[in-house]
Copies of this chain bind each other. A is one copy, B any other.
Amino acid sequence: MQVVGGAAEEGRDEDPDWLSNVAADVGLIDRSSTAERVADVLRRRITEGDLPPRTRLSEEQLTDVLHVSRNTLREAFRLLTHEGLLIHVLHRGVFVRELDEADLGDLYRLRQTIECGALRSLVDVDPARLRGMYDDVAASESAARRGDWVSVGTSNMRFHRDLVALADSPRTNEVAGRLLAELRLAFHGVASPRRLHEPYVARNRELLDLVAGGEYEKAAEGLEGYLEDSLTELLAAVRSRHT
């Protein structure tokens, strides 16, 4: 398919390790099946907002564009459906998911248990592991100064992903990743992304300082209120969009 180009066209006897590493760095993951690469493309289009909620993904149309068979495409659909980005209506096809207010409430409640639970499970975090999160905060601050609120949102979400990752639990990471991906569905198409993201830049730094100081319980309590406020803002934003 066109995305990976002629990477594995000619039958090299052995792909050296550095090759797959480079491919991973550039984002052209080659170790995966065609279906997963198709899913990667669609996931990006969705999370970047090119495919807004309620968009129908026609099998015929996409097989033409992506140059893959319907079977392969359907496998990609399955992947994304189970990530919550698509919904599958029997005999009607797949659509980009739209989140209603109940979904948002549910999403934030689970975020609260997952993220705060991750914080509370911490013991003696190596300060070196917080460097990435300080980078995330710095990226948010820089983007905020530029007024690039979409980028602020992106690095805020990366902050939360890295926060959960401190707990070193693969399954927790996976669940958190899915929640954050779903959340992006709600962020796109909001009238004022500034109100949605700006307040949390400073709060992220405060939170991170608490973690750096080993005050995990305090951090968890702070995060609880943080998420409640965030949900309130988000609900207000989507409500104003629908009127």
- Chain A interface residues (CB < 8 Å from chain B): 31-33, 71, 74-75, 78-79, 82, 90, 106-107, 109-110, 112-114, 116-118, 121, 167, 169-172, 175, 179
Q: Which residues of B contact A169 (CB under 8 A)?
A: 106, 109-110
Q: Which residues of B contact A118 (CB under 8 A)?
A: 113
Whether A107 contacts B171 in the complex (CB less than 8 A), given A82-B82, A117-B113, comes out as: yes
Q: Is there contact, CB below 8 Å, between A113 and B114?
A: yes
Whether A33 contacts B110 in the complex (CB less than 8 A), given A75-B75, A79-B82, A117-B117, comes out as: no
> What is the count of identical protomers in the complex?
2
Q: Which residues of B contact A74 (CB under 8 A)?
A: 71, 75
Q: List 5 A-B contacts (CB under 8 A).
A: A75-B75, A113-B172, A114-B114, A114-B117, A117-B117
Q: In the complex, what residue of chain B is closest to A71 when comparing beta carbons?
A: B71
Q: How far is the CA of A114 from the CA of B175 in the complex (A)?
A: 11
Q: How far is the CA of A116 from the CA of B106 in the complex (A)?
A: 17
Q: Is there contact, CB below 8 Å, between A106 and B75?
A: no
Q: How far is the CA of A116 from the CA of B169 in the complex (A)?
A: 17
Q: Other than A31-B90, A71-B71, A107-B171, give 20 A-B pairs with Cβ distance below 8 A.
A: A32-B90, A71-B74, A78-B79, A79-B82, A82-B82, A106-B170, A106-B171, A109-B121, A109-B167, A109-B169, A109-B172, A110-B169, A110-B171, A110-B175, A113-B114, A113-B118, A113-B121, A116-B117, A171-B179, A175-B175
Q: Is there contact, CB below 8 Å, between B110 and A172?
A: yes
Q: How far is the CA of A114 from the CA of B114 in the complex (A)?
A: 7
Q: In the complex, what residue of chain B is closest to A102 when comparing beta carbons?
A: B170
